[in-house]
A and B are shown apart, each in its own frame.
Chain A
């Protein structure tokens, strides 16, 4: 049992932490927002560093790292709210590699995706029976889109539009058409493979949320130490301190739960999907709480476009909503833990 990074993980965190700090600056995030929410230069550098396929088995062209190692990178990605679809791509790459294992996917495609080109993504919500998949994350930039169509797991390959639907966080969301996408599996096999990929997405996004929260809190702490009112730093006011302390407490709880979930998913432990879902919900909630406190304690500047906290505030809400309503996720957890709802007697 070890709840801290190993030395290797520490090294990975530092290497990618440096890369994201250098390349995914707030200016780069703003520039991406002005376009379709994607920074191709950054993506190439990540691909060169082996990030997109790092947790894909070596025999399928990946780096053979564990899901937890990938989570270490996702944390750094989240800290910088980097405008590249790292998590969607990475879980789709793992899905394709596992399907290549059974021959359902061309190994050349799986290998190419593991290398970072073409860009791949996952529809988080099943497409309609007609193949319409609305608001697909990274849908504006991904060539390869995997998802459920009815009870079939399908993969489509299409030139992306490069245009995102305008949205609150400048994310590369776009509608995709999976009507022509090839069927890889059907029935329970399809559902199981898709659910596994989705669980991985939840665990990794939970960790990414912990990264976002870490950074927005650091921003808040730096600001309240330096901003003076009434002749003293605003960070010496207890009301401000206690709001930040509550946020930091939830943030630490969320970080621990997220990594615990990632470890459980990695080890295929019973209850891993439940933990991943809980970690995502709690991660999103604590990110929103922290971003809200930090924006508040910036006063008017927090609301200005010039300061960075607003970039985090909007993403704190947006990342989870790509999956759908939080209430629906909670309802799924309730179904699993409390049993199905009984219909009201007529």
Chain B
């Protein structure tokens, strides 16, 4: 595969493992074992069984009729919102918890932004009876309260991250600090295709089920497994990578990644990484990063906690730089409007993250008859407060 990681852990200019020595043994252990473990037949069997019976996969590929009429193209929604716990995040946590068990780990830590990854991690920890600590920015704890309650009910300890912008980046810092201080018994379940190699590759592999199913479902529904466009929102980029994975090498399929413009790309309150960022190192990999000329990370902003991150995964940086993917952005308001539209046209309340991907449909021009797949990465239950306030409902 042309866009896959090389043996040194790089995607073109991006990737690597920029970690302090304290994390080296853990990350190296993972690097040496992850493919062996994942490729093992027993692992595959257990993973797919859990995806089917516990997560509820395959998730439907739904031809959204009223959307299609509105936009003049066949708009398919890949319904990751119907997964257990309400988002794509669980695909990855099911994979990583099985892997952590194989590595003999007893304690699980994770960062979370929207709380979806935190919930998905707390869920699999309850399922497998492992201790679970979730780091979450103080700002996010406030704006995603239902998910905090769910994590607590699932038995996880939720630790507030109070540094920096008190959002996803800072929660990730705290999780890395925890891992440094607990190097032997702990596995860090990173929630997106970010972090030091092999995380971006490992998370992409677990999320690739999204495009694997999409191909089969398209073939059944349209007679061809090849769509014209696939769209997904990008925080760190895991649902997008899952959606792109099996289409990456087919250059006829256009990949559209939607970042959060916040209050506008030039407003100073934005999370549009490829537009505002430069090459740099954060959280263990070399990628594209919002930063000052001095190399200090700039605090991002998005109404959507899951997209409120100043970087993107290294593989996305590579798709962007090579031009294989088209990276665009959607503002807070555009996403909320799209969320309401989806609710009223299709009866589906999307997560605000996913609503960013939906919003980009408005900006596309179709000849008619194109097949377009949008990754509906999660459901909007966690965002009701934000929707209600914004629309004065």
Pairing of A with B: no
Q: Which residues of A contact B (CB under 8 A)?
A: none
Q: Which residues of B contact A (CB under 8 A)?
A: none
